[in-house]
Structure 1
């Protein structure tokens, strides 16, 4: 997802400040981290202050216990003077063909419910017919490759005019991006956030604050004169061993009411013809 937390200034200080950053972010003391990583508080202190250079294995072990994102684990290794451990394979590479096939089968099986896969910059890399049906009316310039889920949702020429609870949904998406930025400090993601946060509200956007669901915020959207309501879920891969795979996210939309569940087969079937 672009540049990592280990920018030029941070790399100049070595791996110690980076590890301290991740430890403090995790809310752990040096002793707590040492106990988890089978080390000592003294050794952790020496690493963080630059008095000791950790081994490659120690960097990876600490990163695992601190739940550091895969891309940032590579950054830690580089800052410590080692080569990156995790490859970053293009999604269209032959070696990832089984992964792509599995995602496509999963998305198809989820129909008629909408589902899509995005990368770390919210570029849509795959989607099913349920999602495509909802994009009717979205301006062509937003659908040009590679389409971006945030732009499609928040741009006045995208889904924004049809989202009944636009203010809540916009706030939810921007907060989601802010959480990622606090974790990754990615310049491309920062630029995307500033772009979509600066979009003008659609007509009536300042007034479209809806009612929240009983247990989760729904996406309430108009489609061809009907109102559809969805809860969304986001899933990622467990223990990814590749940077590209680690940043893929599968978003699925679950009908939030019986009316939406009943309408979807008709909507997707009609729009797919």
Structure 2
């Protein structure tokens, strides 16, 4: 597999890319060279193009810099090597086991909401509990591809019914900002700019009350207030780009009133 560029393109070299990732991780050449057990001089030569890294060195540097799999493939290409991490479709036969795991997790979590998203926070799968909550948003926001951050914070999404919108919005935007810093993904950066521009009549980040250890989601459903906490799960040791970028977020009731309402509401569907 080779990359093709026009005469007017100026593709970044491996040295350019690895220097960018090093700086993004706030590491000096000395710090990184110590971590990967090479001389600072050799690392400097690699970054300036005076030395060509081996395939193993590319992967070694990427591992220490916590470069996402998608971007590790780009590093390999820029150094003249073929990508090593496949990017399969979730609908392919090879992904059957992954699809089954996702379905079991989502179904097993009903009636409480759960969602699976990709790198860009686009909806991959959702269970009945999540679809129940999303039923009160504008139909336009449910047109694929559905972005769950837009679904949550858009003025025609869940935002008007999130009682602690300033706090929860600050939490989600903070997560996205960290993701942008980790991946340097321009599409995520555009999404961050969009979300930051949404109106909100509450402070972006409210002070948490005494004893609070996580940011809850306090959501109005009709005349009922639901309070939920969420956890995030990823697949361990993934070797496929698609699988590595999947995130499973599950919501749990923070009180019995919320649990009871969700059980009854999902059972009545």
The separation in 2 between residues aligned to 1:35 and 1:208, in whole angstroms, is 40
CA displacement at 1:105 relative to structure 2: 0.6
RMSD between aligned residues = 2.2
The separation in 2 between residues aligned to 1:189 and 1:28, in whole angstroms, is 23
Aligned residues: 259
Stretch of structure 1 that moved more, 226-235 or 17-26:
17-26
With over 3 angstroms needed to count, the CA separation of the structure-2 counterparts of 1:196 and 1:25, relative to structure 1, is: closer
Structure-1 residue corresponding to 2:226: 228
The separation in 1 between residues aligned to 2:187 and 2:33, in whole angstroms, is 34
Within the candidate set 249, 254, 257, 2:255 is matched to: 257
Matches within 5 A, 1:214-225: 214-225=212-223
Structure-2 residue corresponding to 1:4: none
Matches within 5 A, 1:84-233: 84-201=83-200, 205-206=201-202, 212=208, 214-233=212-231
TM-score with structure 1 setting the length: 0.86
TM-score with structure 2 setting the length: 0.87
Q: Which has the higher contact order (CA 8 A, sep 6+)?
A: 1
CA displacement at 1:43 relative to structure 2: 2.0
Structure-1 residue corresponding to 2:6: none
1:23 lines up with 2:31 in the alignment: no
Deviations 1:122-175 (A, max 9, x none): 111101111112112211111122221012111122111100011111122222
CA displacement at 1:83 relative to structure 2: 2.0
With over 3 angstroms needed to count, the CA separation of the structure-2 counterparts of 1:15 and 1:243, relative to structure 1, is: same
With over 3 angstroms needed to count, the CA separation of the structure-2 counterparts of 1:133 and 1:122, relative to structure 1, is: same
The separation in 1 between residues aligned to 2:231 and 2:121, in whole angstroms, is 15
The separation in 2 between residues aligned to 1:70 and 1:25, in whole angstroms, is 16
**Equivalent residues of 1:166, 1:209 under 8 A apart:** no
Within the candidate set 260, 263, 266, 2:264 is matched to: 266
Structure 1 unaligned regions, length at least 5: 1-7
